Structures are given as structure tokens and as C-alpha cells.
Structure 1
Amino acid sequence: MNVIERLDWDSSFFGYEVGRIQIEDINDLTTSDFIEKSIKFRLIYIFSKNIIDIPNIRIIDKKIVLSQKTFFLQSNKNILIRSFDINRDSFDRLKELAIQSGKYSRFFLDKNFVNQEFERLYIRWIENSLTDKSKFDVLVAVIDDLIEGFITLIKKSETVVEISLLAVSQESRGKGIGKQLIVESISRSKEAGLDEIRVTTQLDNIPAMSLYKSANFKIIESINIYHLWNL
């Protein structure tokens, strides 16, 4: 059985012990060794390609990883898309949109999070997107001088860029903003010499799945995520 890995960042951020384990044989979760070692964690993320039917272990997310090769595309000039500029753009607006985008997040859906973990986590993610050394770009869609959508891109390797967050305001959904943010991201990644663009979303997030498939992203990985709480 794989050991339970302590997640230092999560434990520090949430203020309680958080662990992670990848499971291939679900029977490993019922052994006395696992039960004894799991007690020291308040929360354990369990990743498995198999279905787990064990009391107190709840499926929270069906994570889908999609991929697309980069290439040059022509953007819709009716929508202004440019890099975020901290000197003229509203960071508060980015935070607002980031929180709006997370209604399919496991940190929102799991009601055992009771200390505003979801909101704090998404705000930290957008902060990191602007300051992290692995940041590639943060693009915003601007209509009438107001940010109506954004996408954050993180460089994962010399050839791969990852979409970290994508959000469009509720008022501007259905106008093609999300698609144009993706189109611009693919083109900029190609221009920078990156060969592949990836994104992780939830299977139940039908709008996101439809959006990425419309941009010819293909599923390359699917995994179930469960939460085990010791409350």
C-alpha cells in the first residue's frame, strides 16, 4: 500500500493536518495499518481510478485532465483580451471572478470545510498566479473598461503550459469570452515555444467540459477524488 503523504502546504494553509494517498486496491483502505496511520490527519485526499464504497469515504470530484497541442489561432477582435496589468486593472475584480468560478470545486462542494477554506484558497490561487515564478501569463477579457473574464497560465515544463483558473462573469456568459480566452492562450503559448496546453476540470462541470471540447481538447486522464475526514 502507498503511504499517506503529508501535504505541507495544505496543512499550513488550512490549519490542520492534511494528507494524500493514491490507491489502486481499495482493500488497502480497510487495513489496520491504514486506519492507524490515518488517525493523525484531519483530512485525507484519496485518489483512485476505481469506485470506493466504504462508509465515511465520500467521492467529491471526478477529476478530468484535458490536453491540446498549441498552434496559432485568430482571436475575435470584438473582445479585447490582454495581459493583466496590476497598475491599471482591478485585482479585487479578479478575486471576485475567481470565487464565482469555483462552484464545481471540491473545496466548495464538501460542506465539512467550515472556515471559508474555499474562498481563501481561490484568492490565494489567483494571488499566486500573479507572483509565482512558474507564471506564464494572466489574460483578461475587458468590456467597457471592466474585466469580464480571465485565464491564468502556469508553465509546467519547457514544453507544457497549464490553465490554472478560467472565469467569466455571470453577466457576460454566453458571449464567447471563455472560448476567446482559450484561443488567445493557445496562440500565446505557441508563440512562446510551448507545445502543449493542459487543463484540469471536473466531469460534472458540464459548461467547462463543453467549452474545452469545443476547443478540441482531448481527455488524457480521469481519476476519482475522495475525502476522508476525521472529525
Structure 2
Amino acid sequence: MSICVSINPLPWESGFFSLNTARLEIDGDTPLAHALQQPCGLWQIKVAAERNDVIDAISQHGFQLVEGEADLAINIKRTERQTGVRIAREAQIPALRAAAGVAFRLSRFRTPWFKADDSSRFYAQWIENAVRGTFDNQCLIACDEQGELQGFVSIREQDGDARIGLLAVLPEAQGKGIGQRLLLSAADWGRVRQLNRLRVATQLSNLTAMRLYLRSGARLESTAYWFYRNAHDPI
């Protein structure tokens, strides 16, 4: 099967990782073989899990499976403010960067396509941007009675829904219901803005997160796979 794609350059990622990166979108106008002749250090493509035809086709062009992804949604009903959760401030950025760097060491931004510390750097920058209101609109943090950071969640408004960007609980605070409180706080953030759904994507390998979301009433809406191809891989 031959497929056609469109090319979506990723200038921010290209600059951050010092690697010319582009994402291919399915059902475009350019035959895949022709698109791959364009100069690019790393090609990315996300394919719905049910599109076996596309998966077979891109595999023949040297694409390799990187990670699976699940997208879930929770209907926002009645919510309430959660104790110990508040808006993150710029003074807390160093602690948040350190926490995100540890929490997201394993992701699709991994070797051999990226450097060993790229994933940690990427998510540390993401959470800093969320505190500053860049990309994600806001970052909420959970703290203990002494004010020590226990976890965080970043949220943005997207297409009429609230969407979680990052959610993590520090290792020493796990098993205390912090993740649930952060999730409920994100839902409350959406309710205040009169949004009806809270969406979140997570790695298929992250069973802890999947269990949290499903236990909280989320429904699984879609699954997909990420594939990469280096420029030097043969077509």
C-alpha cells in the first residue's frame, strides 16, 4: 500500500534538541517515499492503532516503533477545590524542573533517537513553561503541611476541553492519594472555565497512570503508536 502524507516541521523541537525534526501527517498530498527525500534529521509519525495498513506501509520505509499512547477523557461534573493544591509560582520553578526531570526520564524522547538526558531536559522545560503560562496555561502543585512539593499537574484549554499536559507525583509522596487530588484539581480548573471534559494522554506502558485515570471515571477514547525514522535509515 502506498500512502500520502503532509510534512509538519517542528521548529521548537528542532531548536531544543539541535536536531532537524518534522512530523508526518497521514492522508496528505505527498507520497511517503517523496516526502522522505526532503532534508530532515528525524521523522516522526503517530498512527491510530487500528490503522494496520498505514503501520505496514511505514514499516516498509524504515520507521520503527517507539511508544504507544492512550488518550482518555473524563466528563467534568461537580468538582471542589482540593486542599493542599495551589497555583505554582516562578520561585518554585527550580524544584519543579528537578522533579519533572526525574519523573519523565522515560518517554518517546529516548535513545537511540535522542540523547540520554534529552527527555529529562524536555519535560523540565515543559513544566517551567507551564508555570509561565506558555503552551500549557497553568501549573498546579500539591504540597505537604511543611510546604514541601509533593506533585504537580499542568493544564491547558484546547478545542473547548481542558487537557492535562503533565501530571507527576514525587517518589517520596506516592501512595498518599496525591495523584487523585491533582487530577480532581485539574477537573475543577476546567469546571471554573465552564469546560465539559478533561482530557489526558499517557504512554501505554504507564500502567500506574492508566489505573488512576480509569479509577477516576475516565473512558478510553483512542490508542495510537509513535514511529520514528532517522535520516540515514534506508528507504
Same fold (TM over 0.5): yes
What is the root-mean-square deviation of aligned Cα atoms in Å?
2.3
> What is the rounded CA distance, in whole Å, between the counterparts of 2:196 and 2:25 in structure 1?
29
Note if contact 2:42-2:229 (Cα within 8 Å) is conserved in structure 1: yes
Aligned mate of 2:20, from 17, 22, 31: 17
Task: Give the structure 2 partner of residue 81 of structure 1.
Answer: 85
> What is the rounded CA distance, in whole Å, between the counterparts of 2:106 and 2:220 in structure 1?
18
> What is the rounded CA distance, in whole Å, between the counterparts of 1:195 and 1:126 in structure 2?
24
Aligned mate of 1:155, from 154, 157, 161: 157
Note if contact 2:79-2:191 (Cα within 8 Å) is conserved in structure 1: no
TM-score norm. by structure 1 comes to: 0.85
Runs of 4+ that moved beyond 6 A: none
In structure 2, the residue corresponding to 1:106 is in which secondary structure? coil
TM-score norm. by structure 2 comes to: 0.83
How far the C-alpha of 1:203 sits from its partner, in A, is 0.9
Task: Give the structure 2 partner of residue 180 of structure 1.
Answer: 181
How far the C-alpha of 1:135 sits from its partner, in A, is 4.2
User: Unaligned stretches of 5+ in structure 1?
Assistant: none
Note if contact 1:76-1:180 (Cα within 8 Å) is conserved in structure 2: yes
Deviations 1:137-192 (Å, cap 9, x if unpaired)?
321111121001010111114x3111001111111111110011101221232122
In structure 2, the residue corresponding to 1:148 is in which secondary structure? strand
How far the C-alpha of 1:8 sits from its partner, in A, is 1.9
Aligned mate of 1:8, from 4, 8, 11: 11
> What is the rounded CA distance, in whole Å, between the counterparts of 1:46 and 1:188 in structure 2?
31
Amino acid at match of 1:41: C
Note the 1:41-56 alignment, pairs <5 A: 41-49=40-48, 50=52, 51-52=55-56, 53-54=59-60, 56=62
| Residue 171 in structure 1 maps to residue 168 in structure 2 | no
Size of the aligned set, in residue pairs, is 219
How far the C-alpha of 1:75 sits from its partner, in A, is 6.1
Deviations 1:27-66 (Å, cap 9, x if unpaired)?
x65x4x24423xx111000222233444742111111111
Q: Report the identity percentage.
A: 25
In structure 2, the residue corresponding to 1:19 is in which secondary structure? strand
Structure 1 residues 190, 218: CA separation in 2 closer, same or farther (over 3 Å shift)? Answer: same
In structure 2, the residue corresponding to 1:4 is in which secondary structure? strand
Task: Give the structure 2 partner of residue 220 of structure 1.
Answer: 221
Note if contact 1:68-1:197 (Cα within 8 Å) is conserved in structure 2: yes
